[in-house]
Amino acid sequence: DLSTGIIYRRRIATCQNVIPEILRKVTTFRKIYVLKVPDIYLEEESWLNMRKRNMAMKTHCLTWTQYASLSEESVFRESLENPNWTDFTQKGRISVTGAGLLNCVLEAFAQSFLKQGVKK
């Protein structure tokens, strides 16, 4: 938008399913293997503010919405210490329901997935 200086983008990302095959086989819901999908789809929205020199991103999972909630918010901004540096803040939320005792295991894999994104 020329009036605000903010560039908005919305896109769908495809990520490989990182849940181990053994868990995909044992977690069934009404005889449907809900975790046995090759890819996970995410919706990502971003706002790049050229005037303030910052970018905000929000991501949430589109796959398994009836069983899990995974969301992430990130902000990149110019460092107050040095304008050549970037300050990065991130927060995320993971919740899995409907998998019984495996809820915690699946949440751990989702957390690992988010942490891999932070390292990049």
Residue-wise pLDDT tens digits, 39-58: 878 899 999 998 899 999 99
Say how many domains are in the chain.
1
Task: Residue 64: give the domain boundaries.
Answer: 6-119
Q: Is residue 72 part of a domain?
A: yes
* pLDDT tens track for 59-110: 998 887 777 778 889 999 999 999 999 999 999 887 777 666 666 666 676 6
Cα distances from 118 to residues 2, 73, 81, 89, 90, in angstroms, run 31, 11, 22, 10, 8
Q: Is residue 87 part of a domain?
A: yes
Share of the chain above pLDDT 90, in %: 31
Share of the chain above pLDDT 70, in %: 64
Q: Is residue 1 part of a domain?
A: no
Q: Is the pTM of this model over 0.75?
A: no
Q: What is the dihedral of CA 65, 105, 59, 15, to 10 degrees?
A: -90
Distance CA 27, CA 33 (A): 6
Average per-residue pLDDT for the chain: 78
